Amino acid sequence: MLNKYARAFFTRVLTPFAAFLLRRGVSPDAVTLIGTAGVMAGALVFFPRGEFFWGTIVATVFVFSDLVDGNMARQAGISSRWGAFLDSTLDRVADGAVFGGFALWYAGSGDNNMLCAVAIFCLASGQVVSYTKARGEAIGLPVAVNGLVERAERLVISLVAAGLAGFHRTFGVPGIEILLPIALWIVAAGSAVTLAQRVITVRRESAEADAAAAGTGRGSETTS
């Protein structure tokens, strides 16, 4: 959902920065790698210690590399299958780091096994949601569905909530730390719905494709 509306806006905003990096000889792949490393650092260094505000600031800055690298590749005319593969693969790594950081906090000093489990579910379901689309496309289906909570929604909801929750520890704002647990439950439920949407879509599209193939086969036999 957010991909449809926000990506175009931020792409326009970040185009000058992407052009600047190209002029300095930076490659899109380098931006992808640095961006993933930055997200991992923000999530796995700060989140397990409960430093949600600073962890969110660091992770958010590097999350935008996902838009910058693609923009650079298009401007330079060097879009490639390798670049798309690398970008998609490292997106999964970054997502895993974010929710892994939350899980480590709740498994440790956060002392909440239920929320640790919810964070792990968010991590796993996010990976499976992405896999269902990739696998569906790999077998020749369009997987034409905009899921309720896709990658952009998962990151925005969780990072905004984590950043605001961090105001409790960093700035002493009372009661606001409840936002992160609420966000994790929302992401978990939304991811489950999105997974169901994609599975149902692939089931329908595969049935339609099989029926069309069978019809074509019968038509060829009749003609012959």
Residues annotated as catalytic are 91
Name the DSSP class of 178: G
Please, are residues 56 and 159 in contact by the beta-carbon 8 Å criterion? yes
Please, are residues 63 and 154 in contact by the beta-carbon 8 Å criterion? no
Find, among 46, 47, 49, 86, the residue nearest to 66 by Cα.
86
Helix (H) or strand (E) holding 187: helix 179-223
* Positive or negative: CA dihedral 184, 137, 30, 13: negative
